[in-house]
Chain A
Amino acid sequence: MDWIKKRNSWFVIGVFLLILTTLVIADTRPGNHPFQKDTVITVGVFSDSYWEVQNGYSYRILEDAIEIFEKEHEGVRVEYVSGLLKENYSEWLAEQMVLGKAPDVFLVFGEHFSDFTEIGALKDLESFMEKDTLFSADRFYTSAFQCGQYGGKQYALPYECAPKLMFVNKTILDEEGIALPGEEWTWDDFYGICSKVTKDKDGNGVPDQFGVVGYTWADAFDANGVELFNAQGTECRLTGEAVREAILFMEELEGLHDGYHVTSKDFDLGKVAFQPMLFSEYRAYKPYPLSIKKYSGFEWECIPMPSGSRGDNVAELDTLLLAMNEDTKQPEYAWELMKLLSGDERIQSEVFTYSEGVSVLRDVTESDETLQLLIESSGDNMGLNLRVLSDAVEGAVVSRGFRGREEAEAEVDRAVRDIMEGSSNISMEQIIWNREIDHFLKDHNRR
């Protein structure tokens, strides 16, 4: 029986060795081996601008941040893969996650934030924020900061953002003798102006000057204080008076165009009075060499979005987020780098210089330097009040992200279109569609 005992003890040793090897393998991350001299932090970024504008400053902000970071933390090197385009970035990031090579810190698009959080790819930042006394969430715009939250926890910090503003063709308004609406204008004002400017100027029987282009039901919902889904993304809130009003308002607006399909090209040609735009799009208007020629025909100005009867002058906010890899081996350094990129005024002020977005730090956005910079970059008739911008960011609607929100919104889009085209009772239709979308959400959650 001695040989059995001997064999058993060899087996036990074997079991330990195999389990140990498995644990070591499970813990290894490509590129990070225990014997390397200096610590390397990898960052996932893309080369072009998030705001779809080629500005030639691809990695300027990051490079500056790396310089500061490496000076502050000796022996730590920051690396990034260059040459990724924005359109390929999310796919690249997903592939890196699948292959286990995702960077320590990476940018996350608002639309994919909930997907990555849901599968546990992003690190929960709550503990870092609690431990770090130098970190203050109050310095961020509340709305932008909330964009990085999921299920009540912070998984990402905002990097830059852009609020939606109403772009106004001042020339048309001047021609029609209409005063520029105030900052707290309403749907009534909006509709009034739209109906006044919509007319057939050349008398060919078809209207050739229009009120608005690109105002969607989502804008109307935001303006009327509609929260379309509950926090868990399990229920739709398509019923109710606020939604009904928004749909009715959209019907009225579209009724003005008399079936003519207005495009943003019409706006570019100076034939449309209003177009909602992201702040970044607004900023990109001027610096483009092409746009100078394109828009020289009219003067423009930015004002907040109009408010519905039950809401405020608010709109959505597009935010680019910065998140930490759940599997990072250097969470402390990664957090320092994230803090530098998104919470440091030196870096954040560069957002206005090298990008088209808005800094997520209130102090930076409202500073005199920023005003100076914006005036310089857009010429003398800078039609923007910085307080309007700041308020638009602060008050922006933060739509709670959940998995499958995109698909659910597509469903709502179908529903709103159907209700508007149909002639039956709106409230009834709302209830029917609400039930259908609830079913859709339940199915989606069950998957």
Chain B
Amino acid sequence: MEENCNKEIDMGKNQIQEGRVEETRVPGIIFAWMLNLNLLIILYITGIMAAGLWGHVHENTALVFLQQVNAVTIVPWKIPVMAVLLYGSLALLLGIRTEKNASIYGKTCVEIMITIAIGYILNFSYIGMVLLILADVIRRMTKVRWKYAAIGIVCGVYLLMDYNLLTGRFPITPLDTYLLYYRNDVRSIMLGIRNVLSSLNILLFIIYTIQLMRVQMSEKERILILNDKLNQANEELQAANRQMEEYARESIKNAETQERNRLAREIHDTLGHSLTGIITGLDACVTLMDVAPDAVKTQLKDIADVARKGMTDVRRSVKALRPDALEKMELEKALIQMMEETKKTSKVEIEYCCTAELSHYNKDEEEIIYRIVQESITNAIRHGKATKIMIAISMEYNIMYIWIKDNGVGCTHIEKGFGLHHMEERLAMLHGSLNYYGDDGFVLEASIPIRWGEER
């Protein structure tokens, strides 16, 4: 049962997570595209740069070329190789996942330095790699203040790495000079392709940002929905609580009524019975008084007996109303004490045999066991006039069996009194059952399913 519950909860969690994964995957995919696109752009630019340099060497225009550049160029084959190696390290750095904002900061700084190095190799003709760093920072940083500071720094680098801004201060050769080797129309196509790819990168970045915003917004929405649900459940819980309180009040009232009824029955059964006997006996005495004064004497003796008996019954009833025996001691001791007291007051013989362990039951279970035994003894003495009572308690597969037999008069037709009725009611509450037979004395069998594990 519990396992099933856990499984269901897990499944629910998985469903929620899967939904989230689907959403968060979109910016991740766009980021991967950006990574690939940047690699393509770097390969393209370094490729045409290297080819341009080789072209100048082959065409013997290297001197003219050097007269136009602003700094010694990098050896042709090194341009793509170094740029791609550095880009690889940048990609690895971008792949590092960490939660700590400080390490993200350090990581970002190294990334910026690598980007500047790549930019240097590319003569700052392309700096779209910075957008990758920006995208990563936006995605990873969690602390808002740090995030904005990092975004500010990266944006600053992006703006400052502008080719035209840098040429004034540092000797940088424009890409166009490298392409001087190519024909004019080819050159413009080459630069056009560079511009298209670069714009594509910016476009991807914008889509990435939009997607990321959407994911974050839907996350917030989800939280709001969950919050609503929580509130609703809370309200329902409160209503249930109120109902429970009402129910508790009612059941207290019920218990009171039941107790009052029982008291009434008890009074009726004991006092009523005795008083009836006394009244009829006394009436008989009044008639007999003149006729046979001796008979009156014996009659009065009998009446006194009845009255005395009634007195015992009242005492027993009062005692039965006081169920604190259980509260003071354990079930088994309480049972034994009760039996001992009964033996003393009513001179019945009680055989008691218990094979089940009688500790650690729930309160209601303990009480019903106690009550059944008590009620049966009372009934046997009161109705069956028994002199011997046998009580057996055993346990089989979580079901407790109570078997009580007396040698009293029994009865062919059993009229359910208040006691039996009450017993049945109580047993029904615990899903137990009650059987009784009156052919040979009176036999009562009760079975109670025991709930293990709650307080054990």
Selecting from B74-82, B346-354, B411-419, the interface stretch reads B74-82
Q: What residues of B have a CB within 8 angstroms of the CB of A447 in the complex?
A: 68
> Are A99 and B75 touching (Cβ within 8 A)?
yes
- Binary per-residue interface labels of chain A (104-126) against chain B in the complex, 1 for a CB within 8 Å, 0 otherwise: 00000000100110111100000
> Are B114 and A98 touching (Cβ within 8 A)?
no
> Are A18 and B86 touching (Cβ within 8 A)?
yes
> Are A22 and B86 touching (Cβ within 8 A)?
yes
State how many angstroms separate the Cβ of B375 from the closest Cβ of chain A: 64
| CB-CB under 8 A for A99 and B57, given A8-B98, A94-B63, A116-B66 | yes
| CB-CB under 8 A for A94 and B70, given A11-B95, A26-B82 | no
State how many angstroms separate the Cβ of A311 from the closest Cβ of chain B: 31
> Are A115 and B67 touching (Cβ within 8 A)?
yes
Q: What residues of A have a CB within 8 angstroms of the CB of B68 in the complex?
A: 447
Picked from B85, B93, B117, the residue with its CB within 8 Å of the CB of A25 is B85
- Residues of B109-163 whose CB lies within 8 A of A: 110, 114, 117
A179 in the interface, Cβ–Cβ < 8 Å? no
Picked from A19, A21, A98, the residue with its CB within 8 Å of the CB of B73 is A98
> Are B89 and A119 touching (Cβ within 8 A)?
no
Q: What residues of A have a CB within 8 angstroms of the CB of B69 in the complex?
A: 119
| CB-CB under 8 A for A121 and B72, given A18-B85, A94-B62, A98-B57 | yes
- Binary per-residue interface labels of chain A (1-14) against chain B in the complex, 1 for a CB within 8 Å, 0 otherwise: 00010011001101
Q: How far is the CA of A14 from the CA of B88 in the complex (A)?
A: 9
A49 in the interface, Cβ–Cβ < 8 Å? no
Q: What residues of A have a CB within 8 angstroms of the CB of B75 in the complex?
A: 30, 98-100
State how many angstroms separate the Cβ of A28 from the closest Cβ of chain B: 8
Q: How far is the CA of A93 from the CA of B57 in the complex (A)?
A: 11
State how many angstroms separate the Cβ of A299 from the closest Cβ of chain B: 42
- Residues of B286-339 whose CB lies within 8 A of A: none
Picked from A11, A26, A91, A100, the residue with its CB within 8 Å of the CB of B93 is A11
B456 in the interface, Cβ–Cβ < 8 Å? no
State how many angstroms separate the Cβ of A95 from the closest Cβ of chain B: 4
Residue tally, chain A, CB below 8 Å to B:
34
> Are B171 and A15 touching (Cβ within 8 A)?
no
State how many angstroms separate the Cβ of B87 from the closest Cβ of chain A: 9
> What are 18 A-to-B residue pairs whose CB atoms are below 8 Å?
A8-B96, A11-B93, A11-B96, A14-B89, A18-B86, A18-B89, A19-B85, A25-B82, A26-B82, A90-B63, A91-B60, A91-B62, A95-B62, A97-B62, A119-B171, A120-B171, A327-B72, A447-B68
> Are B82 and A22 touching (Cβ within 8 A)?
yes
A301 in the interface, Cβ–Cβ < 8 Å? no
Q: What residues of A have a CB within 8 angstroms of the CB of B71 in the complex?
A: 119-120
Q: How far is the CA of A321 from the CA of B11 in the complex (A)?
A: 82
| CB-CB under 8 A for A14 and B92, given A8-B97, A99-B75, A120-B171 | yes
Picked from A18, A26, A327, the residue with its CB within 8 Å of the CB of B92 is A18
A326 in the interface, Cβ–Cβ < 8 Å? yes
> Are A98 and B56 touching (Cβ within 8 A)?
yes
10 nearest A-B pairs in the assembled complex, by CB-CB distance: A100-B75, A18-B89, A94-B62, A94-B63, A95-B62, A15-B89, A11-B92, A22-B85, A91-B63, A94-B66
Q: How far is the CA of A58 from the CA of B336 in the complex (A)?
A: 134
Q: What residues of B have a CB within 8 angstroms of the CB of A93 in the complex?
A: 63
> Are B60 and A95 touching (Cβ within 8 A)?
yes
Chain B, residue nearest A101 (CB): B75
Q: How far is the CA of A112 from the CA of B96 in the complex (A)?
A: 50
Q: How far is the CA of A190 from the CA of B402 in the complex (A)?
A: 152
Picked from B78, B86, B96, B97, the residue with its CB within 8 Å of the CB of A19 is B86
The interface of chain A, by Cβ under 8 A from chain B, is 4, 7-8, 11-12, 14-15, 18-19, 21-22, 25-26, 30, 90-91, 93-95, 97-100, 112, 115-116, 118-121, 326-327, 403, 447
Q: How far is the CA of A91 from the CA of B97 in the complex (A)?
A: 51
State how many angstroms separate the Cβ of A407 from the closest Cβ of chain B: 10
B372 in the interface, Cβ–Cβ < 8 Å? no
State how many angstroms separate the Cβ of A133 from the closest Cβ of chain B: 31
> Are A98 and B66 touching (Cβ within 8 A)?
yes
Q: How far is the CA of A99 from the CA of B76 in the complex (A)?
A: 6
> Are A21 and B85 touching (Cβ within 8 A)?
yes
5 further interface pairs, Cβ-Cβ under 8 Å (given A99-B57, A116-B66): A11-B96, A12-B92, A95-B60, A99-B76, A119-B171
> Are A120 and B92 touching (Cβ within 8 A)?
no
> Are A19 and B89 touching (Cβ within 8 A)?
yes
Chain A, residue nearest B56 (CB): A98
Q: How far is the CA of A326 from the CA of B74 in the complex (A)?
A: 13
Q: What residues of A have a CB within 8 angstroms of the CB of B393 in the complex?
A: none
Q: How far is the CA of A12 from the CA of B95 in the complex (A)?
A: 10
Q: What residues of B have a CB within 8 angstroms of the CB of A97 in the complex?
A: 62, 66, 72
Q: Which of A15, A19, A93, A447 has the most chain B CB atoms inside 10 A of its CB?
A: A15
State how many angstroms separate the Cβ of B312 from the closest Cβ of chain A: 77
B48 in the interface, Cβ–Cβ < 8 Å? no
Q: What residues of A have a CB within 8 angstroms of the CB of B93 in the complex?
A: 11, 15
State how many angstroms separate the Cβ of A178 from the closest Cβ of chain B: 46
Q: What residues of B have a CB within 8 angstroms of the CB of A120 in the complex?
A: 71-72, 171
Chain B, residue nearest A28 (CB): B78
Q: Which of A18, A91, A447 has the most chain B CB atoms inside 10 A of its CB?
A: A18
State how many angstroms separate the Cβ of B117 from the closest Cβ of chain A: 8
Q: How far is the CA of A120 from the CA of B70 in the complex (A)?
A: 8
B65 in the interface, Cβ–Cβ < 8 Å? yes
Q: What residues of B have a CB within 8 angstroms of the CB of A327 in the complex?
A: 72
B53 in the interface, Cβ–Cβ < 8 Å? yes
State how many angstroms separate the Cβ of A113 from the closest Cβ of chain B: 12
> Are A98 and B65 touching (Cβ within 8 A)?
yes
Q: What residues of B have a CB within 8 angstroms of the CB of A8 in the complex?
A: 96-98
Q: What residues of B have a CB within 8 angstroms of the CB of A95 in the complex?
A: 56-57, 60, 62
State how many angstroms separate the Cβ of B38 from the closest Cβ of chain A: 16
> Are B89 and A98 touching (Cβ within 8 A)?
no
State how many angstroms separate the Cβ of B180 from the closest Cβ of chain A: 12
Q: How far is the CA of A12 from the CA of B111 in the complex (A)?
A: 12
Q: How far is the CA of A128 from the CA of B96 in the complex (A)?
A: 46
Q: How far is the CA of A346 from the CA of B53 in the complex (A)?
A: 41
Q: How far is the CA of A422 from the CA of B97 in the complex (A)?
A: 77
Q: How far is the CA of A116 from the CA of B71 in the complex (A)?
A: 9
Q: What residues of A have a CB within 8 angstroms of the CB of B53 in the complex?
A: 98
Q: How far is the CA of A30 from the CA of B69 in the complex (A)?
A: 22
Chain A, residue nearest B93 (CB): A15
> Are A18 and B76 touching (Cβ within 8 A)?
no
State how many angstroms separate the Cβ of B90 from the closest Cβ of chain A: 8
- Residues of B28-86 whose CB lies within 8 A of A: 53, 56-57, 60, 62-63, 65-76, 78, 81-82, 85-86
Picked from B70, B88, B96, B98, the residue with its CB within 8 Å of the CB of A18 is B88
Q: Which of A26, A120, A121, A403 has the most chain B CB atoms inside 10 A of its CB?
A: A26
Q: How far is the CA of A116 from the CA of B69 in the complex (A)?
A: 10
> Are B65 and A94 touching (Cβ within 8 A)?
yes
Q: What residues of B have a CB within 8 angstroms of the CB of A7 in the complex?
A: 95, 97
Q: What residues of A have a CB within 8 angstroms of the CB of B65 in the complex?
A: 94, 98
Q: How far is the CA of A30 from the CA of B78 in the complex (A)?
A: 11
Chain B, residue nearest A19 (CB): B89
Chain B, residue nearest A17 (CB): B89
State how many angstroms separate the Cβ of B25 from the closest Cβ of chain A: 17
Chain A, residue nearest B86 (CB): A22
Q: How far is the CA of A18 from the CA of B67 in the complex (A)?
A: 34
Chain A, residue nearest B114 (CB): A19
Chain A, residue nearest B63 (CB): A94
Q: Which of A90, A100, A120, A403 has the most chain B CB atoms inside 10 A of its CB?
A: A100
State how many angstroms separate the Cβ of A153 from the closest Cβ of chain B: 16
Chain A, residue nearest B78 (CB): A25
> Are B66 and A115 touching (Cβ within 8 A)?
yes
Q: How far is the CA of A91 from the CA of B85 in the complex (A)?
A: 32
Picked from A11, A15, A119, the residue with its CB within 8 Å of the CB of B66 is A119
Q: How far is the CA of A120 from the CA of B71 in the complex (A)?
A: 6
Q: How far is the CA of A397 from the CA of B95 in the complex (A)?
A: 63
Chain A, residue nearest B53 (CB): A98
